[in-house]
Amino acid sequence: VIVATSSLSYSAKMVSFILGTTFLLSSLLPHGSHGFAPSSLSTRRHVGGQSSIPTSLTTHHMFTGIIEEMGEVISLETRDDMTLWDGSKGKGTEMVLKGDIVLDGAYLGCSISVNGVCLTATEIDEDAKTFKVGLAPETLRKTNLGTYVPESQQRVNMERASEIGGRNSGHFVQGHVDNVGTIMDQWIDENSLFFKIAFPYEFMRYVVPKGFIAIDGTSLTVCDVHSEGEDGENWFTFMLVEYTQKKIILPSKKVGDTVNVEVDVLGKYSERAWEAFVPKMEALETKVKQLEARLQELEGGESTASSSSATDNDVNYGQPIGGLSNVAAAATAPTPEQVKVKNTDGTEWVRTKQSFFDTQY
């Protein structure tokens, strides 16, 4: 009982530790170069190809999902004469966009979110209010940016990168789109506009009711979630309040159109941390069962058919649990001869074993 209680207490502490560590890690991820609320330093202009932004503010990027403006796609071109790092030529796709707010403080190499995709500004024309970005093959595979036709004057959501320590009115958005979703339905609920999005099953485990999600770079709250597996329907819903409807491109989209979707990164880090923890917890539970079986044997009882049998060779009391060396001290356990020695009242072996449990667990 003592061992089992200790293991449950340890499990609760570890779960709390994992969740706390995950949140801490999220705050230490490569974050924004320009602030949740742009600082006075980040509003300096790019002049003559030289950045006036201190280098200490240009090393990280992250977004908040609070769209600053709707920009316009000016051109989308695939070229075969892109110069690579070694001077050779390669094929690549470039997009030119027009914006205003996002160019405030922009510099060559800065990160700008375009429809939720973190892109690097490679050219900036301040007079024309335009900037150029490169679209890598992975970007074209995972997002809908390659489907934009400049002649249609399609608009895109834009946001500058954010700064650590500033105010975040959305959530941690990396600009790393997981996949595209397809609009299945949309309807009006008084002054709210609802959307129903079909999404690949492999990502649905990260979508939870009332959780965060980024749609075309916009930080939104999930309403309902429905998942039937790989061969069934998988979708979620969200809604736009009246103010948001006027500030982003989503209301202009119709059923059948696609949206870029980025799930909450905290869910991914929590899953990875939990995957590392579960084998250790299972090892601990196995050890507890073995110790309980051994205890019953030492008390003179017989193990039930459902309990795993244990011998002196099955359980090495002198070794800490595999992978849990920080929890179980490598104390020297009593030998089989020591635990079988009883005093006149028959309690000596109990005290010896309890001392071992207290030391190890």
Query: pLDDT tens digit string along 61-78?
Result: 689 888 999 999 999 999
The answer to whether 36 and 166 are in contact (CB under 8 A) is yes
pLDDT at 299: 84
Positions in the chain short of pLDDT 50: 1-10, 27-60, 303, 305-332, 339-343
- Catalytic annotation, residues: 63, 111, 118, 120, 136, 176, 221
Residues 6+ apart with CB under 8 A from 243: none
Decide: helix, strand or coil at residue 176.
coil
pLDDT at 187: 97
pLDDT at 6: 45
pLDDT at 263: 94
Sign of the torsion angle spanned by Cα atoms 100, 248, 216, 274: positive
Residues 6+ apart with CB under 8 A from 258: 144, 147, 180, 181, 182, 183
Residues 6+ apart with CB under 8 A from 92: 78, 79, 82, 134, 135, 136
pLDDT at 247: 94
- Pull the structure tokens for residue 105: 């403080």
H-only helix segments in 197-347: 201-204, 242-245, 265-298, 336-340
pLDDT at 277: 87
The answer to whether 224 and 242 are in contact (CB under 8 A) is no
CA distance 30 to 36: 14
